[in-house]
Structures are given as structure tokens and as C-alpha cells.
Amino acid sequence: MTAPSTYGLSTQARNLQWLLTDLVEEVPGVNSVAVVSSDGLLLLSSDPAAAGGAGEPQATPRPKGPRGASADLATIVSGLGSLTTGAAALMEFGAVKQTMVAMDNGSVFVMAISDGSLLGVHATPDCDMSVVAYHMALFVGRAGHVLTPEVRSELRQSMENTP
């Protein structure tokens, strides 16, 4: 995957995009990654065809995420985040840290970043789940303090303005 265009983005936004690209390229079994705001809007995506992620075609095509669309992964991540947060509140278990759904043909991981933002990963069925979770935790640790309201707003704007 070629890094998406970061023209005009702040250093913090470019660093987040770099961390996301690194996650999808370096972790075996990861198909696609999305960062979703607390209100369910896609902020960052590893999908080069997605708005805000216009990259050049890769030499070796990676399997696509759910139906190949970042918006679908963002919807799934947002829905799982909402469902698990509601369940945790109902059962008085505290904040949700991570959710993992294993299916016959893949897995979806969701991890809280900060103030409601979520990191979502779509991975192959044979991925090493502990490795994926570890790298997600690294991303969250690095991105949590950078994902300020100003950077979230900038990322939203860049997603809306990219053709």
C-alpha cells in the first residue's frame, strides 16, 4: 500500500496517518484499519480508495475490508463500540477496552482510543489475534494524546474534501 496523500495536513494528522499505514502494512493478517470518531464518522482509513486515502495502487493487492469500503468498516466499528458500551453499562462493568469478533472468514477488532474515538481492524481468520491486539494497543497509546478535538476536526474536513 502506498501512503495516502497528506498534503495540507498538520504534523499530528500526518503522524496519525503514518501510524495507521504502518499498522496495516507491518502486522500480518491485517486487511484494513479505520479510526472512527465518537459520533461514528470515519476519520482515518487504510483503504487507498477511500476519501482522504487516495494512494497509488499497490504492487501486491491486499484483501479488501468488508465489501471493500472503509465506510462499511467504520459503520461496523461504530456499531460494535456502541453495542458493547451499552452492554458494559447495563452490566455495570465499566469502560470497554477492546472488542473482538471472530468469524469463519475473518475477525474484527475494536479498541477505544480516547473520548469515544475507536480504532477498528478487519483481519484474516488466521491472524495471530494477540499480535493484532498488541499492535492496536501500541497505536492507541501513540495516537490517544494526538487525537485532539482540533486534529479530529481536521481529519473529518480532509475526508469530506477529498474527491
Q: List the domain boundaries for the chain.
A: 16-161
Cβ neighbors of 133 (< 8 A, separation 6 or more) are: 98, 100, 109, 111
Q: In the β-sheet with 98-103, what is the strand arrangement from edge to edge?
A: 42-45, 30-36, 118-123, 106-112, 98-103
- The pLDDT-based confidence of 143 (bands split at 50, 70, 90) is confident
59-118 pLDDT tens trace: 344 445 444 457 788 999 999 999 999 999 999 999 999 999 999 999 999 999 977 899
Give the Cα separation of 4 and 21 in Å (integer).
Answer: 8
Interval 44-60 mean pLDDT: 51
Predicted TM-score (pTM) above 0.95: no
pLDDT computed for residue 162 by the predictor: 61
DSSP 3-state of 45: strand
pLDDT computed for residue 81 by the predictor: 94
Give the Cα separation of 55 and 50 in Å (integer).
Answer: 9
CATH architecture of structural domain 16-161: 2-Layer Sandwich (3.30)
pLDDT computed for residue 6 by the predictor: 56
In the predicted model, is pLDDT for residue 15 greater than 50?
A: yes
Cβ neighbors of 75 (< 8 A, separation 6 or more) are: 40
pLDDT computed for residue 58 by the predictor: 41
DSSP 3-state of 86: helix
- The pLDDT-based confidence of 145 (bands split at 50, 70, 90) is confident
* Better-scored residue on pLDDT, 64 or 140: 140
How far, rounded to the nearest angstrom, does the alpha carbon of residue 143 sit from its chain's CA centroid? 11
pLDDT computed for residue 57 by the predictor: 37
Give the Cα separation of 147 and 145 in Å (integer).
Answer: 6
